[in-house]
Amino acid sequence: MERKINNPFDSEINKCFGCSPSNHAGLKLEFTEKDDSVEAVWIPSGHFQGYPGVLHGGITATLMDETAAWCVYVKAGTAGVTYSMCVKYINPIYISKGAVRIVATLAGRNERYADIRCRLFDSGNNICAEADLKYFIYPVDIAVRRFRYPGKDKFFL
């Protein structure tokens, strides 16, 4: 099963660096649900580089953290905040090679935490980075009030 995930957050209020379509300096990520994962495809450009021609490590981490957040929205059915993130940088991400694919899966959860496993692949499907993230998650009523979480159904048209 594959389906596009709608961004239900108000673009006048939401200026998220990772996902807002109205943040001109941001990544403007869009997401797809695929079976047990949430995925994003993103094309890096030169103004996101660290070393010449190589994607900055902080941007790599941000791509995985943002995709993990959307995994929490869709797979855990609530909102949360990053509690911890352990990143392994395996191979450089060369900007000239084009699109990267980020895959996040919900590895486990309880009432307070969601564990997310995230991997980033280059256009040749080589793994470039992976991360284990722990999100502090909120009961849905608090997620709605504090984070404007719209409810899981609003992510799909």
Structure tokens at 29: 């990520």
How far is CA 128 from its chain centroid?
16
**Nearest CA among 86, 75, 70 for reference residue 130:** 86
The fourth-level CATH superfamily of domain 36-155 is Hotdog Thioesterase (3.10.129.10)
Decide if 20 contacts 59 (C-beta within 8 A): no
Q: Report pLDDT for 11.
A: 74
Q: How far apart are CA 42 and CA 82, in angstroms?
A: 21
pLDDT in tens, 70-123: 999 999 999 999 999 999 999 999 999 999 999 999 999 999 999 999 999 999
Q: What is the mean pLDDT of the chain?
A: 96
The pTM assigned to this predicted structure is 0.96
So where are the chain's domains?
36-155
**Nearest CA among 73, 89, 77 for reference residue 29:** 73
DSSP-derived 3-state class of residue 110: coil
pLDDT in tens, 38-57: 999 999 999 999 999 999 99
